[in-house]
């Protein structure tokens, strides 16, 4: 047998996939065959029983499913079961009309049983019962399921853009990875297709109910005419025989139809995705002992009214009262307290060990007790998600993954204060007020606001803490309004950018090299550590980061190191200078964007000559303090003027004095970038906007 099946699958080819793929085509062929070929009575009994069992199984699967997508094949199952019932109606109608004159058992024992035992052989009762079942199926169950499916499909399609945006937001925040995002997008698409299919598939059930009525009417009229005209039966004999068989046939088909309709209604009316229908109903209806107790009291009061069936009402009231009491005891039972393991009491006489030494966090955040709400997800805090987003954005822009931020509370801080630390040293502090908003004045807003004046901790702009009521007015006035979590996250992002060189430790450098090795293994193998060691590479990258140069293009950096390292250059500062020339297009684009005309700050030629002599002296750099102060103040003023005009603050100087000038001006003008002449690409032109040292 197995050999024959293997040969059959080989003949069918790989398109058949597996034996399961044959189920639907075989079933459809069987359905069509039942409509065309005459079936014996025993075959009808088998198929009618199979139809009832299938409908019952479909309803149970719908009852035990957790999510609608757990039964995603239901619209197709609905179509196939409807076709199966209609084909059985056709086959049974043929047998009833052809052999009905032979007696009630001519169409099989199933139809005979439904005609005699369920309705007592009275076709009038059968017609009434059938009509009631049709009303229940068509008017109540099917109509409601059809409306729920229609509304569900509409709402699901309307919610698709929002769900897609939520998935993208979770992906950007680092809460899920790309694989999980693809899976969730596929689930959203499948859910939309499922409810859309259910909206159309509900019409199958409605059409099936109408077809059942028409088939019953046709069988009654046709059987009566055939019995009287062809088989010479009296009118009463024809009615009692054919109508009884027609009604039994209709009931045999209508009961599975009702089960399938109930299954469809259960599928589309599901709410929640964590429990099956039975668990959900029992858990919610009998959740409160108060509701059960009040119902018991009402039933008991009805039971003592004269003329009412006292025994039945009081019996039900007593049972519900006992249930209410049991529920009440369960609700108020003391909850078991998990016994915490006894912590080992510290021994004051114990010897010191390495466990007493706590490591210092590379990047830490300490918060006062009022800011704990910002990091507590149970209280709606989203600061931790913001921090994940800050780290991801830093990695994408700067070029390496920064250390994780360790957040902890510090009762020594003010309640609304936070502190940012780098290797144990404080690099920034600020205050934030949960539930309030910071309105930052970009510099041109004159509309006053009521609130607490402050300074934006990230960029030093004037700002005001306002409440929710003033948020819209502040935005309309031109303020930049952000919540407290955004204030803290932006401050953290700014400090991480400023201290990027210090964040790049030996572990981060090694991880960066391993990451680049996956992309260009041969290139890394030839350069690191053969030409340039890990320690030297770390120092070079820190020198670049210290001047705000991003290291995203590690391939170009390693290629430049291979070129100059192979030429015998080993000094990290010299290699960093050469790397800046190799990365010149990226550095200029990082400062100016896509513009080709660079508005720069220059130094007065005589002052520039003086600086070159002082900083490049054979006896060592020696710059007069007065000249240094003059340069610092002039650079700060020029940088401020450039920024007021909307241009980047960038100083262009000869290559020989670029490094010492950049170090000198870093404290006086932190946002001022210093470029050498060789770092301007040939594709760009320069325009001098300000001159340091020029006389008025």
- Inter-residue contact 520 to 484 (CB < 8 Å): no
Q: Which of the pair, 632 or 4, is modelled with greater confidence?
A: 632
CA dihedral angle for residue 568, residue 573, residue 577, residue 578, rounded to 10 degrees: 20
State how far the Cα of 436 lies from the Cα of 168, in Å rounded to an integer: 27
State the Cα–Cα distance between residues 538 and 546, nearest whole angstrom. 12
**What pLDDT score was predicted for residue 74?**
77
What would the pLDDT profile of 516-565 be if each residue is shown by its tens digit? Answer: 888 888 888 888 878 888 889 999 999 999 988 999 888 889 888 888 87
Q: Confidence class of residue 10 from pLDDT cuts 50, 70 and 90?
A: low
Region at 288 (left for phi over 0; alpha for psi -120 to 50; beta for the rest): beta
User: Which of helix, strand or coil describes residue 690?
Assistant: strand
Nearest to 145 by CA among 270, 296, 37: 270
Q: What is the pLDDT of residue 173?
A: 53
DSSP string, 416-481: TEEEEEETTEEEEEEE--TT-EEEE--S-------SEEEE-TTT--EEEEE-GGGHHHHHHHT-EE
Tokens encoding 558:
């390693």
Strand order in the sheet with 597-603: 673-676, 650-653, 597-603, 685-692
Fold of 359-501: Glutaredoxin (3.40.30)
Q: What is the DSSP string of 84-107?
A: HHHHHHHHHHHHHHHHGGG-GGGG
**Average pLDDT in the chain:** 80
Q: What is the pLDDT of residue 461?
A: 87
pLDDT at 696 (0 to 100): 47
Assess whether the previous peptide bond of 74 is cis (omega < 30° from 0): no
DSSP bridge partners of 481: 439
Alpha helices (H) in 347-431, listed in sequence order: 372-375, 383-398
pLDDT of residue 275 exceeding 60, the answer is yes
Count CB-CB contacts under 10 A for residue 415: 13
Q: Residue 341: pLDDT above 60?
A: no
Say which range, 354-358, 386-390, 405-409, 661-665, has the weakest mean pLDDT: 354-358
Q: Report how far Cα 643 is from the mean position of its chain's Cα atoms.
A: 40
Is 363:405 a contact under the CB 8 Å cutoff? yes
Q: Which residues pair with 440 in a beta bridge?
A: 463, 480
Which range is least confidently modeled, 85-89, 220-224, 348-352? 348-352
Note the Cα 16 to chain centre separation in Å. Answer: 36
The DSSP output letter for 114 is I
- Residue 577's CB: how many other CB atoms inside 10 A? 20
More confident residue, 167 or 403: 403
- Give the residue, 459 or 102, on which the prediction is more confident: 459
Beta strands in 507-666 (DSSP E): 597-603, 650-653
> What are the structure tokens assigned to 285, written together?
């209806």
Q: How far apart are CA 321 and CA 289, in angstroms?
A: 9
pTM recorded for the entire structure: 0.53
Q: What is the pLDDT of residue 652?
A: 93
Cα distances from 143 to residues 74, 135, 203, in angstroms, run 18, 10, 10
Write out pLDDT tens, residues 11-54: 444 444 456 666 667 777 777 777 767 777 777 778 878 888 88
Q: For residues 547 and 487, give the distance between their C-alpha atoms in angstroms, rounded to a whole number.
A: 25
- How confident is the model at residue 598, as a pLDDT? 92
Task: Please give the Cα distance from 19 to 489 (Å, whole number).
Answer: 57
Q: Residue 4: its pLDDT value, please?
A: 44
Q: How far is Cα 651 from Cα 690, in angstroms, rounded to an integer?
A: 9
Alpha carbons within 13 angstroms on the beta-carbon side of residue 17 total: 4
Q: Is the pLDDT of residue 366 over 90?
A: yes
Show the tokens assigned to 325: 């009491």
- Select from 58, 62, 55 the least CA-distant residue to 276: 62
What pLDDT score was predicted for residue 175?
58
Q: Are 99 and 227 in contact (CB under 8 A)?
A: no
Question: So what's the pLDDT on residue 16?
Answer: 46
Tell me what pLDDT residue 84 has: 80
pLDDT band at 455 (very low <50, low <70, confident <90, very high): very high
- Return the exposure string of 204-231: e unless at least 16 CB atoms fall within 10 Å of the residue's CB, then b: bbbebbebbeebbeebbebbbebbbeee
**CB < 8 Å & 24+ apart, contacts of 147-152:** 148/265, 148/268, 148/269, 149/195, 149/198, 149/199, 149/201, 149/202, 149/264, 149/268, 150/199, 150/202, 152/195, 152/198, 152/199, 152/268
CA distance 392 to 663: 29
The rounded distance, in Å, linking the Cα atoms of 504 and 501 is 5
pLDDT > 90? residue 56: no
Lowest pLDDT segment from 65-69, 79-83, 458-462, 592-596: 65-69
Under 8 Å between Cβ of 692 and 601 = yes
pLDDT tens digits, 598-647:
999 999 988 888 888 888 776 666 778 888 888 889 999 999 888 888 88
Q: Indicate the CATH number for domain 504-582.
A: 1.10.8.540
Q: Report how far residue 26's alpha carbon sits from residue 90's, in angstroms, rounded to the nearest whole number.
A: 19
**Residue 169 binned pLDDT confidence (cut-offs 50, 70, 90):** low
pLDDT reported for residue 346? 58
Q: Residue 549 and residue 576: Cα distance in Å, rounded?
A: 11
Q: What is the pLDDT of residue 367?
A: 92
- Token representation of residue 486: 């955004």
pLDDT: which is higher, 425 or 166: 425
CA 311 to CA 136: how far, in whole Å? 31
Q: What is the pLDDT of residues 278-289, one digit of tens each?
A: 676 776 777 777
What SS3 state is found at 597? strand
Which percentage of the chain shows pLDDT scores above 70?
82
CATH topology of domain 594-696: Rossmann fold (3.40.50)
Query: Does residue 121 or residue 199 have the better pLDDT?
Result: 199
pLDDT of residue 1: 42
Paired residues of 480 in beta bridges? 440
Q: Is 188 left (phi over 0), alpha (psi -120 to 50) or beta?
A: alpha
Residues 6+ apart with CB under 8 A from 412: none
Is 540 in a helix, a strand, or coil? helix
Cα gap 32→15, rounded to integer Å? 23
DSSP annotation string for 164-197: HHHHHHHHHTTSS-HHHHHHHHHHHHHHHHHHHH
SS3 of the chain: helix, strand, coil, percent, to 5: 65, 10, 25
Q: pLDDT at residue 656 above 70?
A: yes
Mean pLDDT of 299-311: 83
The residue ranking higher by pLDDT, 348 or 458, is 458
Structure tokens at 298: 């009402």
Token readout for 471 is 């948020």
Rounded to whole angstroms, how far apart are CA atoms 157 and 196?
8
Classified as helix, coil or strand, 411 is coil
The reported pLDDT for the residue numbered 630 is: 87
DSSP 362: S
Tell me the percentage of the chain whose pLDDT exceeds 90.
15
DSSP state, residue 140: I
Structure tokens at 342: 């006894």
* Residue 108: band (very low, low, confident or very high) from pLDDT cuts 50, 70, 90: low
Would you say residue 339 has pLDDT above 70? no
pLDDT average, residue stretch 317-340: 74
């Amino acid at each position: 047998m197995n050999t024959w099946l293997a040969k059959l699958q080989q003949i069918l080819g790989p398109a058949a996939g597996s034996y399961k793929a044959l189920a639907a085509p075989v079933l459809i062929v069987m359905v069509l065959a039942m409509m065309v070929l005459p079936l014996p009575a025993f075959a009808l009994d088998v198929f009618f029983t199979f139809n009832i069992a299938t409908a019952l199984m479909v309803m149970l699967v719908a009852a035990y499913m957790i999510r609608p997508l757990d039964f995603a094949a239901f619209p197709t199952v609905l179509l196939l079961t409807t076709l199966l019932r209609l084909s059985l109606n056709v086959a049974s109608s043929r047998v009833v009309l052809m052999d009905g004159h032979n007696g009630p058992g001519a169409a099989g024992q199933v139809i005979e049983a439904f005609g005699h035992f369920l309705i007592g052989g009275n076709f009038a009762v059968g017609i009434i019962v059938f009509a009631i079942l049709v009303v229940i199926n068509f008017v109540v169950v099917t109509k409601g399921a059809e409306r729920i499916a229609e509304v569900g499909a509409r709402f699901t399609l309307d919610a698709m853009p929002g769900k897609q945006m939520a998935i993208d937001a979770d992906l950007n925040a680092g809460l899920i990875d790309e694989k999980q995002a693809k899976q969730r997008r596929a689930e959203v698409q499948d859910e939309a297709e499922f409810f859309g299919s259910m909206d159309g598939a509900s019409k199958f059930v409605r059409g099936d109910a109408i077809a059942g009525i028409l088939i019953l009417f046709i069988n009654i009229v046709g059987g009566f005419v055939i019995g009287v005209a062809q088989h010479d039966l009296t009118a009463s004999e024809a009615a009692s025989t054919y109508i009884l068989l027609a009604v039994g046939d209709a009931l045999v088909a209508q009961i599975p139809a009702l089960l399938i309709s109930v299954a469809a209604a259960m599928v589309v009316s599901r709410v929640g995705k964590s429990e099956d229908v039975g668990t959900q109903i029992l858990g919610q209806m009998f959740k409160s002992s108060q509701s059960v107790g009040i119902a018991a009291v009402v039933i008991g009061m009805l039971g003592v009214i004269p003329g009412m069936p006292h025994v039945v009402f009081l019996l039900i009231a007593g049972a519900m009262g006992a249930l209410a009491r049991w529920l009440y005891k369960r609700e108020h039972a003391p909850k078991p307290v998990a016994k915490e393991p006894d912590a080992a009491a510290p021994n004051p006489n114990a010897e010191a060990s390495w466990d007493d030494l706590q490591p210092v966090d590379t990047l830490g955040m300490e918060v006062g007790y009022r800011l704990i709400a910002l990091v507590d997800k149970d209280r709606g805090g989203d600061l931790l998600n913001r921090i994940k987003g800050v780290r991801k954005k830093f990695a994408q822009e700067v070029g390496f993954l920064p250390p994780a931020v360790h957040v902890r509370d510090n009762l020594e801080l003010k309640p609304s204060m936070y502190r940012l630390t780098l290797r144990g040293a404080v690099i920034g502090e600020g205050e934030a007020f949960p539930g309030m908003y910071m309105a930052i004045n970009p510099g041109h807003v004159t509309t006053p606001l009521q609130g607490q004046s402050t300074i934006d901790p990230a960029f030093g702009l004037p700002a005001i803490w306002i409440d929710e009521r003033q948020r819209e007015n502040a935005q309309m006035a031109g303020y930049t309004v952000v919540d407290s979590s955004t204030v803290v996250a932006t401050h953290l992002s700014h400090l991480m950018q400023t201290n990027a060189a210090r964040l790049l430790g030996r572990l981060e450098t090694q991880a960066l090299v391993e990451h680049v090795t996956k992309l260009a293994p041969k290139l890394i193998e030839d350069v690191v550590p053969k030409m340039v060691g890990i320690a030297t590479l770390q120092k070079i990258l820190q020198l670049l980061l210290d001047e705000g140069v991003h290291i995203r293009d590690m391939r170009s950096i390693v290629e430049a190191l291979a070129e100059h390292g192979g030429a015998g250059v080993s000094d990290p500062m010299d290699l960093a200078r050469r790397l800046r020339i190799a990365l010149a297009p990226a550095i200029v684009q990082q400062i100016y964007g896509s513009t080709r005309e660079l508005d720069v700050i220059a130094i007065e030629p005589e002052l520039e000559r003086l600086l070159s002599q002082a900083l490049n002296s054979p006896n060592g750099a020696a710059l007069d303090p007065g000249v240094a102060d003059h340069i610092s103040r002039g650079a700060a003023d020029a940088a401020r003027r450039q920024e007021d005009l909307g241009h980047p603050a960038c100083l262009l100087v000869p290559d020989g004095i670029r490094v010492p000038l950049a170090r000198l001006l870093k404290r006086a003008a932190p946002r001022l970038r210093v470029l050498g002449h060789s770092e301007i690409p040939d594709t760009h032109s320069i325009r001098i906007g300000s001159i340091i040292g020029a006389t008025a």
